[in-house]
Amino acid sequence: MPVIQVSLIRGYSTELKQRLCAHLTDAVRRSIAADPEGVTVLLHEVEPDAYMRGGRPRMPGKAATAEIPGTVPEEVVRGFLDAMEVRDLSRAESWLDAGFSMVFPGGVEMTRLDELVAWAAERYRCVSKRIDVLETCDEGERITVVCHGELRGEWLDGTPFAGVRFIDRFELRHGRIARQQVWNDLALARC
């Protein structure tokens, strides 16, 4: 079974190293039909003063964290969805790439969040998402995050709804959301 060895400059958190090992295991499994228990990842750490590149000492690069916008795709999506749920449009827009577009059921396409809010105001009073799963796939510069779960909220007449299935597919470019596609069963829940 595959054994992957990685050398890192000492200084990264345990959480980052565990995330790196999980992503490396997933990368191998996308290429080789390997049981995850058969994939071994070994991280070797070197002291910063024991590493040089180009004849100069180097320090560890910054870790991808939620504090550095755009570095953790799942956090970008969660940050955007959280801001949209409370209708903080300026915060939600901070997660968007230039040329952002979104497509909703029925082929409704929009490019501005205020368009979405106006469109939704004709359908329901409020809506929130319970996310069951976030799945990420990266292909170089393009990262896709798919989340699914259930919607709950209130119709215009105040009647509550819950348990409505949804799937959102996000395409990220340079750590920002470039496109959102939405599928849900709201039309069926209205019946």
The residue extents of the domains of the chain are 3-57, 73-190
Give the CATH fold of the 3-57 domain.
Macrophage Migration Inhibitory Factor (3.30.429)
Contacts of 54 (CB under 8 A, 6+ apart): none
Write down the pLDDT at residue 67: 45
> Which CATH number describes the domain made up of 73-190?
3.10.450.50
Residues of the chain predicted below pLDDT 50: 65-68
Q: pLDDT of 167-176, one tens digit each?
A: 999 999 888 9
| Cα-Cα-Cα-Cα dihedral sign, residues 99, 103, 107, 108 | negative
| Cα-Cα-Cα-Cα dihedral sign, residues 74, 80, 82, 85 | negative
- pTM, 2 dp: 0.71
Write down the pLDDT at residue 48: 77
Nearest to 129 by CA among 175, 180, 178, 174: 180
CA dihedral 110, 112, 189, 136 (to 10 degrees): 90
